[in-house]
Structure 1
Amino acid sequence: MPIILHNFLFNVYPYICLAVFLMGSLARFDRDQYTWKSDSSQMLRARQLRWGSNLFHIGILFLFVGHTVGLLTPHIFYEWLITAPQKQMLAIVSGGVAGLVCFVGLTMLLHRRMFDPRIRLTSHKTDLAILIILWIQLVLGLVTLPFSYAHRADASAMLILADWAQHLVTFRPDASALIAIDWPFKVHMVLGMTIFLLFPFSRLVHVWSGFASLAYVLRPYQLVRSRRLNLPRAQDPARREGGRA
């Protein structure tokens, strides 16, 4: 890969994707709230949807949290508890299991979307496209597992990727060390960033609503108190009834 393209993809492209992800989501919420939904097809073949959706969401949530914590947590914060090679093996095993669970669920959803005539008729092209992109991304993630296992002794791959991610979030991009990373990692990273780029223009925006529901659950209780108006006796229904009694 030419060095100019390499620097663009891993030093500049992440910020482009993040800007479009945030601003695009805000613009869509402001201008097209009626399209802010998951477009559920639960009424059509609900059993396959239930299994596929549950497996997919369980797997993808675990992978999202694992990637976020694993990449953005500095090594100094966990070295007293677990070594870098041990952490990489933990990531390989747990990520592999979650990836397989997610793969089964996503394959079921993709099969349902592609081969059920009624569901395909009611689906948007972007629905099918985003599922295919997610499926390819998941396959690429599973492909990286043997490469990660090959670097298990020194955890070099994990440390290089974590260092790159931490430099990005602190606005000190440095992709020089990524040159030595195996190609599946690079393709997986670029496609992952592209998913964030496409996020505001797809049904994935409903993910924001999922995070918002957590804030709704944790909100303080609303106190509702009854209040009687100080009405004259002739205008107070309760007093009139009491007087007649």
Structure 2
Amino acid sequence: MIDQFLWVIFPYLCIVIFIVGHIFRYRYDQFGWTAKSSEFIEKKQLMIGSFLFHIGIIPVFLGHVSGLGIPKQWTRAVGVSDHMYHLGAVWIGGFFGLVTLAGMFILTMRRFTKKTVRHLSSASDLIVNSFLLFIVFIGVYASLVTNNVVPEFDYRDSLSVWFRTLFTLQPNAQLMSGVPLAFKLHVLTGFLIFAIWPFTRLVHVWSVPLNYVGRSYILYRRHESSKRKLG
């Protein structure tokens, strides 16, 4: 019964909350959509942490898409052996995972240890940072430790297949029965962060890039124009 909840009901529940929550938040809390910036309070750690996090998270995300979404028969068909793929997933993925973890650690410690930044933070900000740090940590642990301690385990034969069955609406909880605990925790916390996403400052991810692409140029041009007028 618990397996059915964890690997069938819970993932769909998180996805529904993610979608409905965003719609509700956008309709009734547009003014709270963007995040309060702490850049002017402390910039050095923010810059280093953000740089490391974003440099690491993009390859990590692409690795997740590849590992979960592409069957091993497809990679074999293009000449990538299972051993070669495993080495790349563990060591290259592990490296970028460590980079992401370092960035997330700096950002989390900054939010907790810098008094001015902490005063600007809400309880949900502190929870989200801590939760993201745990998700990244357990993912790195699963990649670098569990994969070496349990070398016979291949997540593409179980976890990845289970993940794809969610999209065919035929989830098979039995596929997760032999998955090591670290991988299970990474999956469950990953879905849980999607469930709480709409109710935290994480929603600004969807708007900040678009805002700054246009706004930074406008502010720069206005600044330059003002300087010319003064000159």
TM-score range normalised by the length of the shorter chain = 0.7 to 0.9
Between structures 1 and 2, the one with greater helix share: 2
Contact 1:148 1:157 in 2 (8 A): no
Aligned to 2:227: none
**4+ residue runs of structure 1 moved beyond 6 angstroms?**
none
Q: Which whole-Å CA distance do the structure 2 matches of 1:157 and 1:74 have between them? A: 11
Of residues 194, 197, 203, the one that matches 2:195 is 197
Q: Which whole-Å CA distance do the structure 1 matches of 2:46 and 2:185 have between them? A: 30
Question: What is the identity, as a one-letter code, of the residue corresponding to 1:209?
Answer: S
Contact 2:60 2:97 in 1 (8 A): yes
**1:21-170 to 2 correspondences below 5 Å:** 21-80=18-77, 81-145=79-143, 146-152=145-151, 156-170=154-168
Contact 2:52 2:100 in 1 (8 A): yes
Q: Deviations over 1:183-204 (max 9, x none)?
A: 1111111111111111101111
Contact 1:147 1:182 in 2 (8 A): yes
Q: CA deviation at 1:168?
A: 0.8
Structure 1 gap segments, 5+ residues each: 218-245
Question: What is the identity, as a one-letter code, of the residue corresponding to 1:115?
Answer: T
- What RMSD over aligned residues (CA atoms) do the two structures have, in Å? 2.0
Q: Which whole-Å CA distance do the structure 2 matches of 1:55 and 1:209 have between them? A: 21
Question: What is the identity, as a one-letter code, of the residue corresponding to 1:37?
Answer: T
| 1:180 pairs with 2:169 | no
| 1:18 pairs with 2:15 | yes
Contact 2:71 2:156 in 1 (8 A): no
Question: What is the identity, as a one-letter code, of the residue corresponding to 2:28?
Answer: R
Out of 82-91 and 19-28, give the one that drifted further: 82-91
Q: CA deviation at 1:156?
A: 2.4
Q: Deviations over 1:93-112 (max 9, x none)?
A: 12211111111111111111
Number of aligned pairs? 211
SS of 1:137's equivalent in the other structure is helix
Contact 2:72 2:156 in 1 (8 A): no
Q: Which whole-Å CA distance do the structure 1 matches of 2:32 and 2:54 have between them? A: 21
Sequence identity (%): 31
Q: Deviations over 1:56-89 (max 9, x none)?
A: 1222222222112220112232212212232122
Q: Which whole-Å CA distance do the structure 1 matches of 2:87 and 2:150 have between them? A: 10
Question: What is the identity, as a one-letter code, of the residue corresponding to 1:205?
Answer: V
SS of 2:171's equivalent in the other structure is coil
Q: Which whole-Å CA distance do the structure 1 matches of 2:204 and 2:154 have between them? A: 36
